[in-house]
Amino acid sequence: IPRFTELKNDKGEAVFPDAAEFHTLRIQPPAGMHYNTDTLRKMSDIWEKHGSGLIAFHGQSGDIMFQGATTANVQPAFDELNELGFDLGGAGPAVRTSMSCVGAARCENSCYDEGTAHRTVLNNFLDDMHRPSLPYKFKFKFSGCPNDCMNSIQRADMAVIGTWRDNIRTDEKMAKAWFAKHGMDELVNDVVARCPTKTLQLKQIKNLKTGPHISSV
């Protein structure tokens, strides 16, 4: 993203020389935004060498924002980041960088393989990311469950959200033990009220029904 200062003196010189050219590189994050410390150190070294040292994790687009490079240093910085296995993100009227939650890597609420879905879609749209050809920007975001940690409903044109497609699964013995320990208030406030599909209900004992797909804890 080109950033040139518009604050200039009567001679046409930048009022703040260090901000005369302060370009930003948008680099695509890995699916699930997982990094190891070795990669982060190498990124930091590259940006200390070619840029201002300012990095934002992550921009609203999901990109790693390397902020503050001169025109001459943009290509060398990207070349070294590319050698680490990273690519430029989208900008302008193009398919933009996608984001996916941590998902199946460590979240028990994950309903599908977000990382694989993310990479599969992304790899099919690389040309549309690097060569803007759309009338307006277009974003994908991948959330593994209805909690929608990626805010895909609000922040994406194509929201991919994992949902449960089977009957509710319960452990009657565990549920009764949990209720004995936590009581009615926590059951209502932390379980029933938080169910995104409102599948849990409280009924009096005389109104309980039983069946292969009904749990009556």
Report the distance separating Cα 159 and Cα 142, nearest Å.
6
Most confident of 11-15, 57-61, 181-185, 212-216: 181-185
DSSP letter assigned to residue 149? T
Percent of the chain with pLDDT over 70: 92
**15's tokens:** 């009022």
Contact 97, 63 (CB under 8 A): yes
55-65 per-position pLDDT tens digit: 998 867 788 99
Checking if the pLDDT of 1 tops 70, the result is no
Domains of the chain: 1-89 (3.30.70.2500), 90-165 (3.30.413.10), 172-207 (no CATH)
Q: What is the dihedral of CA 58, 20, 96, 63, to 10 degrees?
A: -20
Q: What is the dihedral of CA 87, 145, 57, 99, to 10 degrees?
A: 20
Residue 141, pLDDT score: 94
Could you tell me the pLDDT band of residue 11, with boundaries at 50, 70 and 90? confident
Q: What is the β-pairing status of strands 158-161 and 140-143? A: parallel
156-172 per-position pLDDT tens digit: 999 999 998 887 777 88
Average pLDDT, the chain: 87
Residue 217: exposed, middle, or buried by beta-carbon count in 10 A (0-12, 13-18, 19+)?
middle
Tell which wins on pLDDT, 187 or 216.
187
Report the distance separating Cα 89 and Cα 86, nearest Å.
9
